Amino acid sequence: MQFDFIVDFLQTKSPPLLGVDISSSAVKMVEISDTGNSQYRLDSYVIEAMPKDAVVDGNIANLEEVSETIGRAWKRLGTKIKNVALALPSAAVITKKIIVPQGLREQELEMQVESEANQYIPFALDQVNLDFQIAGPAPNQPEEMEVLIAASRKEKVDDRVATAENAGLKVMVMDVEAFATQSAYELIAHQLPDEGKNLAVAIIDIGATMMHVSVLHDNQPVYSREQPFGGNQLTQEIQRQYSLSAEEAEIAKRQGGGLSENFEADVLHPFMETLSLEVARALQFFFSSTQYTRVDQILLGGGCAAIPGLSEIVASRTQTGTLVANPFTDMALAPRVKPRQLAQDAPALLIACGLALRRFDPL
């Protein structure tokens, strides 16, 4: 599912654009093109570190610093494209599926959506950006269809738009992070048994401060949750163990340690064990709050996913097959993209990749 909160209602075709993921740790920017042979090409990507506390709990706390970070990322990307797709954190968006009769005219559908939204959204409609998308026929009700409504407070949308516009970019699409992740997943599904059909797949995207859990069954989303845990806990432990500043600890983490012979045993492995426990905990939440009793496959995303050996530890702890998510596996790569570095960075680019794919939405 995808939403365009700020472009024309139901506009689905986007001009060439960049996927821009604004997180608390970095701005991730991805440019993808079409080779013309039914294959995508990764033209360029960049991960630009975000100043501390510029983005807090998914909210823009320092608009100027975020804009400057976006501007630096865009210059490093080396592109002429200024149209971008952004995403809101899932926690900032209210979504609701409704059932409406088939064959409604667009104006009738808009009126129905507004009427339903009034019941479910705890804000006045003039305080929100509201959008909807037809999801398809209603199950077992051929004369009706499912419509997914999405709404977010206007200031949440406006803040993100302002950060990009102040950097000289034009926002064409405002999506939702969970939906962007699912778009990237579609490029990974073929790596799974039977392309994920009839499987329960948990996508665990480990951010700096939050673990984002999405579960798909038969390649359809059935569950989403956020859990407070992330890579910052490793940074803080490095900081504590080696008496470093937060910036120095972050650099050391990204460079794979190099701090002491005991780094892996004293710091890295305990963190990996804790992370695997958090993943197991997340799956237990899923089982206890849904009718599902198993997960067949785990996909690890986020910067921490690339830590060597982590997928094996998670697989052992959860007794579930675990892969590191890489949506670029079957893409052609532009000469400037370094495959070895991309393999390290790919798990952190799920949202940005999903957003970059918006330029290929069908008419």
pLDDT along the chain (363 residues), means of 10: 45 75 95 88 96 91 97 97 94 87 86 84 84 83 86 92 97 92 94 92 94 94 92 91 84 69 89 97 96 96 92 97 96 95 95 95 67
Rounded Cα gap, residues 149 and 94, in angstroms: 8
Tell me what pLDDT residue 256 has: 59
Rounded Cα gap, residues 344 and 179, in angstroms: 23
- HSE-up of 180 (CA within 13 Å, CB side)? 33
Tokens 């996909």, residue located: 299
Strand partners, 171: 84
Tell me what pLDDT residue 157 has: 93
Tell me what pLDDT residue 11 has: 46
pTM of the model: 0.90
Consecutive H or E run containing 318: helix 310-318
Strand partners, 322: 298
Cβ within 8 Å of residue 338, ≥6 positions away: none
Q: Which amino acid is at 136?
A: G
Tell me what pLDDT residue 363 has: 53
Token pair belonging to 239: 């900081």
Which of these, 161, 16, 28, 22, lies nearest to 82 by C-alpha position? 16
| Cβ atoms of 21 and 46 closer than 8 Å | no
Task: Report the interhelical angle of 154-166 vs 63-77 (nearest 10°).
Answer: 50
Tell me what pLDDT residue 3 has: 52
Tell me what pLDDT residue 257 has: 56
Q: Which domains does the chain have, with CATH numbers?
A: 1-92+154-188+326-363 (3.30.420.40), 93-153 (3.30.1490.300), 193-325 (3.30.420.40)
